[in-house]
Amino acid sequence: MGGLLAGLGGGIWTLAAFVIALSVIVAVHEFGHYIVGRWSGIRAEVFSIGFGPRLFSRRDRRGTEWQVAALPLGGYVRFLGDSNAASAGEGVAVDPALRRQTLDGAPLWARSATVAAGPVFNFILSTLIFAGFLLVQGVPVEAPTVGAVLPAPAEVQNQLRPGDEIIGVGGRPVGEWRDLLTVTETLPAAPSQDWRVRRDGVETTVRGPDPLPNRIGGVAPGSAAAQAGLRAGDVILRIDETPIHRFDQIRPLVEAAAGAPLSLLIWRDGTEIDVTLEPRQQDLPLADGGYEKRWLIGISGGSYFEPATTSVGPLTALWQGVGQVGSIIMSSLTGLWAMISGQIGACNLSGALTIAETTGQAADAGIGNFIWWIAILSVAIGFLNLLPIPVLDGGHLAFYAYESITGRPPSPRIMGLLTSIGLALVLGLMIFGLSNDLRC
């Protein structure tokens, strides 16, 4: 798919994709606050997508005004008794008889559940998206078997057919999918190899592509490759003057360039195109918990065929979706601590400009990539909101934890002071992130 917003210019395209993604994520986040608050007996007066002047609105039978505002860069729920958003905590005068329906007047459990629901609903959204992809795509069958055969340049001899069960490559036996990677290490780099397959119950040898070919399987949003316009399915024929037959030939050339521009010859749908990109240095996590600086262009390897798949049940898909969300949260925690402790550079903190650009690139890569990126961004926003910083949901949960332990909330003076500090910290991080977008 050429892109979600193909008729628009680059800047408008990026902005529109960012607004769509942010609106979906914020709507789900705020709906979490709203619905759990309602279930807890807290009355919502306004549910708004966007800030500023109201464009249109509708009031439901419970008295909640649902509105879309002019600035679609966020949203909020305003509960009874609040002068601002759901978690703002700035009270206004309320009839004492209605105090139980306010956020401040509700029991501690109701306040805690209502505030925590926003990030939790972000995680639920991401889990459902990840699970949905798994339900649609399935998982590879246990025995390595060819599914759909994909287009390849003329130099690649690909006689594999859907349904072929792979039992060997280059004279080396293959019993499971991971054996293909092991086999690759022992084979000379070449466009094609001999594949031993079981076809219609009969073993035969055919010519097929290298098990780890020069085909791009994925492009990381926001990477040098994405910025240069590379796409999943592109085939790298040459880097500078070096012919490329296998994916593992790429990394040494990228490392040797050390940030200098690289000229790539790309095969795309039968056409050869020239692309220039500049590798970027990034901090990559190591197995021992440390980090290593490495030059990257932001691509992963693909194959000239898709694996045959089998369907999974909804519960399995949901469980794996939960695992995916948990993995992103753990990576975020690890990265945050590494940045605080100085193991990685501060340039790893991106601002709104980079996030918007990355969102636009994800949309350009197709609807599937865009939805997947929304899931990742939703986890990130949920995680960010749980940080124990006043003005964020996590800060309010920290206040509630204090109240639970001591039996009383922090004094208004202390809460006001900590909220001001938290607001200054959040604004400072936003400004710092924007400066990173411009200088890193």
**Active site residues per annotation:** 30
Examine residue 392 and state whether it is found in any structural domain, yes or no.
yes
What's the pLDDT score for residue 94?
59
pLDDT in tens, 205-236: 999 999 999 999 999 888 899 989 999 999 99
Domain contains 297? yes
116 and 17 housed in the same domain:
yes
Position 5 confidence tier, pLDDT thresholds 50, 70, 90: very low
Q: Please give the mean pLDDT across all residues of the chain.
A: 89
Instruction: Please give the pLDDT value at position 346.
Output: 76
Query: Do 102 and 61 fall within a single domain?
Result: yes
Residues 6+ apart with CB under 8 A from 147: 162, 305, 306, 307, 308, 309
Last residue of a domain, one of 188, 209, 230: 209
Please tell me whether residues 200 and 261 are part of one structural domain: no
Please give the residue that has the higher pLDDT: either 183 or 279.
279
387-412 burial, b if ≥16 CB within 10 A, otherwise e? bebbbbbbbbbbbbeeeeeeeebbee
Same domain, 108 and 20: yes
State which residues form the domain around 402: 10-136+379-439
Judged on CB neighbours under 10 Å (0-12, 13-18, 19+), 174 is buried
Structural domain ending residue among the three candidates 302, 327, 351? 302
What percent of the chain is modeled with pLDDT above 90?
A: 62
pLDDT tens digits, one per residue of 152-172: 998 898 999 999 999 999 999
77: helix, strand or coil: strand
Q: Tens of pLDDT along 340-382?
A: 887 877 777 888 888 888 898 888 888 999 999 999 999 999 9
Identify the CATH number of the domain in which residue 255 sits.
2.30.42.10
CA distance 327 to 212: 26
Residues 285 and 390 in one domain: no
* Domain shared by 278 and 232, yes or no: yes
Domain boundary among 186, 209, 232: 209
Q: Are residues 26 and 131 in the same domain?
A: yes
Tell me: do 19 and 131 sit in the same domain.
yes
Q: Is residue 53 part of a domain?
A: yes
Total domain count for the chain? 3
pLDDT at 343: 81
pLDDT band at 285 (very low <50, low <70, confident <90, very high): confident
Helix residue ranges, H only, 198-313? 224-228, 250-257
Q: Residue 16 has what pLDDT?
A: 87
Residue 287 belongs to some domain of the structure: yes
Spatial separation of the C-alpha atoms in residues 114 and 262, rounded to whole Å: 51
**How does pLDDT run across 62-92, given as a tens digit for each residue?**
889 999 998 887 889 999 877 554 444 455 5
- Please check whether residues 151 and 261 belong to one and the same domain: no
Residue 93 has what pLDDT? 58
Q: Is the same domain home to 73 and 116?
A: yes
Same domain, 248 and 271: yes
Query: Tens digit of pLDDT for each residue in 38-49?
Result: 999 999 999 999
pLDDT beyond 70 at 97: no
- Asked if the structure places residue 336 within a domain, the reply is no
Give the model's pLDDT for residue 296: 93
Q: Do 28 and 125 lie in a common domain?
A: yes
In a domain, residue 221? The reply is yes
User: What average pLDDT does this structure show over 301-323?
Assistant: 94
User: Residue 104 falls within a domain, yes or no?
Assistant: yes
Q: How confident is the model at residue 3 (pLDDT cuts 50, 70, 90)?
A: very low
